[in-house]
Structure 1
Amino acid sequence: MSLAGSQAAPGAPVRGRPRSEAVERAIMDGVMGLLEDGVPLAELSIERIARTAGVGKATIYRRWSGKEELFADVVRAAEPPDPVLPGTSLRDDLVALMEQMRQRALVTRSSALLHNVYAQMKSSPKIWAAYQATVVDRRRRLQIEVLRRGQRNGELRGDMDLDLLNDILLGPMLVRSVMRPEADLPDGLSEQIVDAILEGLRPAGARTGRQARTARQS
């Protein structure tokens, strides 16, 4: 896992050299450059990456525990950034999360490099596990927290299994992105999915997303 977010406790002695975003960027750009040149993931060693980036191997190991975690960070950096949640309603937050998935699918479709990298990652259990742990699981925790907040705010029925509900919400976008690569991913699809699912999941008497928007405009 990248050490980019680690910080020393107040008053603790500082060990090692200060982090350098420029160095991290050079390392990650070096990996991406090698992949663009057609070097398979399996043939990318830390030594080769260090030589390409113009740094020592120890510099890489200070930031990542191994190449699996480094690859996960490289792929995450190539994807659209995580959304800034509006925080105005459950519906708005879910649309923002879904839209990030749609944009990610569009980027993957248009990038032969990313498509190839994903395929190679899935063929390497260690690399795929690192991507799941540092990227996918983190996103899923955020999605579950958004749903949990919706329950607390009375926007969502309290008897729902949130883990199952999250799968139900993500399913349509994943089907179009992965199982139906020829399917359209048009503007407005995120809103369509969220509105269609939430209509049947709100507590009795709660306004629908359409009703709430109409009321705000009146």
Structure 2
Amino acid sequence: MSTTPSDPADAPARRGRPRSAGVERAILDAVVRLLEDGVPLGEVSMERIARTAGVGKAAIYRRWPGKEELLVDLMRSAEPPEPELPGTSVRDDLVALLEALRRRGVAKRSSAVLHTVSAQLRAYPRLWDAYHRAVIQPHRRATLDVLRRGVETGELRPDADLDLLGDLFVGPLMLRTLVTPDAALDEDLPARVVDTVLAGAANPAAPGSP
């Protein structure tokens, strides 16, 4: 089957023939070109994307229900994937989760598209909500799952405030990525953050605790 953007046989993913990867890539590349050309998010319409990609609007709507979902997919494709947790200890899993945040911050600094979209996210509530649900909430749930496991295994204090702990672990990475974007995102930062927070949250009765 042809994978050119004008292929009329391009079918939905869930039924019939598989969607053309070439069409999908052409659509995402079109959004990147528009953003790199300085087009504000508010002016990146589905019509403009279709025209730039050389496809019909129907080809876009077969893949994404709206612009918000399309832009979130674009950001996710440009960001590092979520990590596979080692499962060896709460510390190791937390370091892996924070390393994903660190790499995401580095990616946003090096990618003009990610930087542009991130800078404008808050101005578009629907886009921010879509990104929050697709990217931020899953990472938050993964962090809380690790912390709950830490309480169950005795690695963390039984009276630990897990929501607050989650904020304490993530906070420094978000601060250096969003508030002070010139701050260092060194490779050892996730481990230093985890060890510093765990020093106060670790269960003193756990094996190996000081």
Q: Which sits farther off after the overlay, 151-160 or 182-191? A: 151-160
List per-residue Cα deviations over 1:88-145 (Å, max 9, x = no partner): 1111110011111111112222334322221222211111111111111122112111
TM-score, structure 1 normalization: 0.82
**Unmatched tracts of structure 1, length 5 or more:** 1-6, 8-13, 212-218
Counterpart of 1:183 in structure 2 is 183
**Superposition pairs of residues 125-204 of structure 1, within 5 angstroms:** 125-204=125-204
2:115 partner letter: H
**Unmatched tracts of structure 2, length 5 or more:** 1-12
Give 4+ residue runs of structure 1 displaced > 3 Å after superposition.
14-17, 19-22
Counterpart of 1:11 in structure 2 is none
Say whether the 8 Å CA contact 2:79–2:104 is kept in structure 1: yes
Counterpart of 1:101 in structure 2 is 101
Q: Which sits farther off after the overlay, 151-160 or 71-80? A: 151-160
> Secondary structure, in 3 states, of the residue corresponding to 1:186?
coil
**Superposition pairs of residues 104-123 of structure 1, within 5 angstroms:** 104-123=104-123
Q: 1:25 to 1:41 in 2, by over 3 A?
A: same
1:181 partner letter: P
Say whether the 8 Å CA contact 1:199–1:208 is kept in structure 2: no
Supply the RMSD in Å over aligned alpha carbons.
2.2
Q: Which sits farther off after the overlay, 67-76 or 33-42? A: 33-42
Counterpart of 1:77 in structure 2 is 77
Say whether the 8 Å CA contact 2:30–2:52 is kept in structure 1: yes
Q: Which sits farther off after the overlay, 97-106 or 51-60? A: 51-60
Q: What is the CA distance between 1:16 and its match in structure 2?
A: 5.5
List per-residue Cα deviations over 1:49-86 (Å, max 9, x = no partner): 12222332122212211001111111121112211211
Q: What is the CA distance between 1:190 and its match in structure 2?
A: 0.8
Q: 1:208 to 1:176 in 2, by over 3 A?
A: farther
Say whether the 8 Å CA contact 1:155–1:206 is kept in structure 2: yes
Query: In the aligned structure 1, how far is the partner of 2:46 from the partner of 2:17?
Result: 20
List per-residue Cα deviations over 1:139-170 (Å, max 9, x = no partner): 21121112222222222222223222111111
Counterpart of 1:216 in structure 2 is none
> What fraction of aligned residue pairs are identical, expressed as a percent?
56
Q: 1:208 to 1:111 in 2, by over 3 A?
A: farther
TM-score, structure 2 normalization: 0.85
1:115 partner letter: H
